[in-house]
Homo-oligomer: A and B are copies of this chain.
Amino acid sequence: MALIFHERVGLDGRRISPFSWRIRYALAHKELQPTVVPTRFADAARILKLSGQRFVPIIEHNEIVVHDSWAIACYLEDRFPESPTLFGCAIGRGSARMVNAWSDSVLARAMRPLVYADFMRCIDPDDRAYFRSSREAQLGMTLEKYSANPTASLASLFDVCAPLERTLSEQPFVAGSAPAYVDYVVFSVFQWARVGSPHDVLADSTKLPAVQAWRARMVTLYDDLGNRFALYPEEST
């Protein structure tokens, strides 16, 4: 079996993409050990040729090429049914799509202004001009302006995380008693913030204590997977 994982990387091999992080955890969950192809934004031509679009993560499995993290998770689940399950059942998969949509449209949106101003330093120098110009075009403002009010942004993040905090105060993982794909999706956004900014969004222990404890559990899964790669660069980098 040839399984290849094209994974987004940043400065000195840092893992800088929430979408790649959720697939990295999903692969570990399913006990799969792919060949990893580190992929910068600057490698878009290779990715385009491979998949017809510019984004990673991508899974190549024998002759099949799958892009889009949700499609990859479903592919892994369906093609490796003998491995531990990511969704549990059809209802688990359907509901995971809702959690996935919430993570990408609500949680990530709240997280971005807390990370974007710092994020440039954790990505490959060759990618910085592209990252800045593409994101500033989307935002209609500079990254610095977008990130100019961290106090308000943090309050917004706490507000947005209310249902997550409530869930995790009632059970140890989003999926219940053990982690599954819904956990990897939500965690990937927090992990992205750990890598992309020197400021811990969960530093205030009076806010989101259940999320904080869950994040610590998530980091240590699969032999401390959340700490396997360097986090935010030191000042001297």
Taking Cβ atoms with an 8 Å cutoff, the residues of A that contact B are 85, 87-99, 101-102, 104-106, 162-164, 166-167, 170-171, 173-178, 180, 182
Contacts and interface: CB of A to CB of B under 8 A. Distances in A.
How many copies the complex holds: the figure is 2
A91 B88 contact: yes
A96 B166 CA distance: 12
Given A106-B162, A163-B106, A91 B89 contact: yes
Nearest to A170: B97
A178 B91 CA distance: 8
A174 B89 contact: no
Contacts of A87: 91
Contacts of A163: 98, 101-102, 104-106
Nearest to A165: B101
Contacts of A174: 94-95, 98
A173 B99 CA distance: 14
Contacts of A171: 94, 97
A106 to B, nearest CB: 6
